[in-house]
């Protein structure tokens, strides 16, 4: 079990390294994490990172939260991670973004995030995530986000994505500590 938790922790670190490298290199707050793929040389890195991490977590949740203990809730989290992985694969790519790919991206992102939040809210009863997502909403309204070639607007999606990463990350860290 320690190996499973260690790989999960490394996946989380890989995702955070991607975000930190982007923020340090470009010194902008993006409108969303998927928009980071627009910047030069980031598209393939984003696809590999999101698909690898979300794919691993699709294994992690049903293994850690077994079906016997939590009925169908781990399936909900795995479906959400699948939606996020799909959304990451169909990320924005300047000059090649079709309407179909944009719809797949938006539907995958939205349903993925909702399903993961439902897993934590209803399946695990962690109501504190509403506070986290509320704080992220306020940050997104206050701090402007950028998209390559467009004017600045809110960064709500970016901060909400960071909130969800924080929720999943804290879960991974606590499970890792419990396993030691």
Summarize pLDDT for 128-139 with one digit per residue, the tens.
Answer: 999 999 999 999
| pLDDT attached to residue 75 | 87
List b or e across 143-179, with b for residues whose CB sees 16 or more CB atoms inside 10 angstroms: eebbbbeeeeebbbbbbbbbbbbebbbebbeebbeee
Q: Measuring CA to CA, which residue among 87, 156, 84 is closest to residue 119? A: 84
Q: Which ranges of the chain have pLDDT less than 50?
A: none
Q: Considering its fold, how many domains does the chain have in total? A: 1
Q: CB neighbours (10 Å) of residue 111?
A: 17
Domain that holds residue 12: 2-179
| pLDDT attached to residue 107 | 86
| pLDDT attached to residue 177 | 93
Is residue 158 within 8 Å of 30, Cβ to Cβ?
A: yes
Tokens of 116: 């993961």
| pLDDT attached to residue 173 | 93
Torsion of CA 10, 105, 89, 145, to 10 degrees: -60
Residue 146: strand pairing partners: 30
């Amino acid at each position: 079990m320690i190996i499973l938790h260690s790989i999960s922790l490394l996946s989380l670190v890989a995702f955070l390294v991607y975000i930190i490298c982007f923020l340090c290199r470009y010194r902008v707050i993006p409108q969303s994490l998927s928009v980071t793929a627009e910047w030069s040389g980031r598209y393939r890195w984003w696809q590999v990172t999101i698909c690898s991490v979300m794919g691993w977590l699709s294994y992690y949740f049903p293994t850690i939260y077994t079906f016997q203990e939590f009925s169908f809730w781990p399936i909900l989290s795995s479906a959400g991670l699948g939606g996020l992985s799909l959304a990451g694969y169909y990320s924005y790519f300047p000059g090649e973004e079709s309407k179909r790919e944009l719809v797949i991206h938006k539907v995958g992102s939205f349903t993925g995030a909702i399903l993961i939040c439902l897993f934590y809210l209803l399946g695990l009863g962690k109501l504190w995530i509403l506070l986290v997502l509320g704080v992220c909403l306020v940050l997104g309204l206050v701090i402007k986000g950028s998209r390559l070639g467009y004017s600045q607007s809110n960064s709500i999606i970016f901060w909400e994505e960071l909130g969800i990463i924080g929720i999943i990350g804290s879960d991974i860290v606590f499970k890792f500590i419990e396993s030691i």
